[in-house]
């Protein structure tokens, strides 16, 4: 009797293990392969054609970064800026391009872009990114996503400084 009971327990355990492994395999098969061009945590990528988007604003950042920066937005973001209404709607995308600045060889008082430093992307999707204020973040160096540690700072910084502006630093240039 004990042998029959033990055999039933072993059979049930084996069946449970097989079902669990099958379910795990099915779930993994449904997930897309990890995109090596996507940012950690958020899965954001550099959007195609972003260099043709409309200018939101330029900026000059002194020490310690010494960068010239410009932010561009897709049409959804630009329309939101122009309407002056927050929060930004889902589908808004902002891209910040940054370069080390250098003195112009042609015009001594002018600073011009030097070496590119980063491309940073914010994508608004209030459901997908609910835990980070509705925004997904991506920071890219030479077209590749920066490391996990850099991405762990994105939302904390935006949350502490510009939460009241839907987590967006850049204001539309006049």
- In the block, which residue shows the tokens 């310690």? 64
C-alpha–C-alpha distance, residues 64 and 28, integer Å: 44
Task: State yes or no: cis peptide before 140, omega within 30 of 0.
Answer: no
pTM of the model: 0.80
pLDDT in the model for residue 19? 35
Does 140 share its domain with 75?
Answer: yes
135-141 and 111-124 strand pairing: antiparallel
Domain count, the chain: 2
Query: Which residues constitute the domain of residue 100?
Result: 50-165
Give Cβ neighbours of residue 28 (< 8 Å, ≥ 6 apart): none
pLDDT at 34: 82
pLDDT value of position 169: 98
CB 71 within 8 A of CB 61: no
Is residue 174 domain-resident?
no
Between CA 83 and CA 88 the distance in angstroms is 10
User: What is the pLDDT, as a whole number, of residue 154?
Assistant: 97
Q: Are 54 and 44 in contact (CB under 8 A)?
A: no
14 and 92: one domain? Answer: no
CATH number at residue 102: 3.50.70.20
Q: In what order do the strands lie in the sheet with 111-124?
A: 54-61, 67-73, 93-103, 111-124, 135-141, 144-145
State whether 54 and 115 are in the same domain: yes
| 5 and 91 housed in the same domain | no
Instruction: Clarify whether residues 23 and 72 are in a common domain.
Output: no
Q: How far apart are CA 96 and CA 171, in angstroms?
A: 12
Q: What is the pLDDT along the chain (174 residues), one digit of tens a residue?
A: 554 444 443 344 343 333 333 333 332 333 345 899 999 999 999 999 999 999 999 999 999 999 999 999 999 999 999 999 999 999 999 999 999 999 999 999 999 999 999 999 999 999 999 999 999 999 999 999 999 999 999 999 999 999 999 999 999 999
């Amino acid at each position: 009797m004990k042998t029959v009971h033990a055999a039933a327990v072993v059979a049930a355990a084996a069946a449970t293990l097989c079902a669990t492994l099958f379910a795990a395999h099915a779930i993994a098969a449904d997930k897309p392969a990890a995109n090596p061009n996507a940012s950690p945590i958020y899965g954001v990528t550099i959007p195609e054609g972003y260099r043709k988007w409309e200018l939101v604003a330029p900026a000059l950042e002194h020490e310690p970064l010494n960068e010239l920066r410009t932010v561009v937005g897709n049409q959804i973001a630009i329309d939101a800026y122009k309407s002056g209404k927050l929060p930004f709607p889902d589908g808004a995308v902002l891209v910040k391009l940054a370069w080390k600045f250098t003195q112009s060889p042609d015009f001594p008082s002018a600073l011009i872009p030097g070496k590119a430093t980063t491309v940073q992307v914010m994508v608004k999707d209030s459901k997908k990114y609910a835990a980070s204020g509705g925004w997904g973040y991506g920071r890219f160096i030479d077209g590749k996503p920066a490391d996990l540690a850099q991405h762990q700072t994105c939302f904390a910084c935006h949350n502490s400084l510009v939460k009241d502006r839907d987590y967006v630093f850049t204001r539309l240039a006049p």
